[in-house]
């Protein structure tokens, strides 16, 4: 029997999805754009490609793995990113509307529908 994924409390309110182009609103990477690689619903966070890079120090493994310093993408809280408008590229909010019986996301600033 297939295992069902359980929805978290805030999962229905998330309007950003994997593959969306977002703008970082706060922090060291403020103003930078990137694509969402992963959405973490339990921590209300997203992982944005090549943004919020942190160093991870690893020890050499017993089986000959080399140790060293690795670059790792860390999560950003969902409140600190905003969708990039498809027309202007600036930060915008996401709205929902019904078109042809289906819920569709759209950019509030330009009104353009999102894929």
Pairing of strands 68-73, 94-99: unpaired
Q: Can you list the domains of the chain with their CATH numbers?
A: 11-107 (2.30.30.30)
CA atoms of 112 and 85, how far apart (whole Å): 8
- By the 10 Å C-beta count (0-12 exposed, 13-18 middle, 19+ buried), 54 is classed as exposed
pLDDT averaged over every residue in the chain: 91
pLDDT for the residue numbered 10: 66
pTM of the model: 0.81
Buried b (16+ CB within 10 A) or exposed e, 18-27: eebbbbbeee
pLDDT digits (tens, 9 = 90+) for 19-69: 999 999 999 999 999 999 999 988 899 999 999 999 999 999 999 889 999
Q: For a pLDDT cut of 70, what percent of the chain falls above it?
A: 90
Closest among 8, 15, 11, 9 to 95, alpha carbons compared: 15
């Amino acid at each position: 029997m297939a295992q069902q994924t359980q929805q978290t409390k805030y999962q229905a309110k998330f309007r950003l999805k994997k593959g969306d182009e977002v703008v970082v609103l706060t922090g060291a990477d403020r103003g930078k754009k990137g694509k969402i690689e992963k959405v973490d619903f339990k921590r209300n966070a997203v992982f944005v490609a090549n943004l919020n890079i942190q160093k991870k120090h690893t020890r050499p493994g017993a089986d000959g793995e080399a140790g060293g310093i690795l670059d790792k993408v860390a999560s950003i809280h969902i409140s600190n990113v905003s969708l990039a408008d498809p027309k202007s590229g600036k930060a915008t909010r996401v709205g929902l509307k019904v078109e042809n019986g289906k819920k569709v996301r759209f950019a509030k600033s330009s009104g353009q529908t999102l894929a």
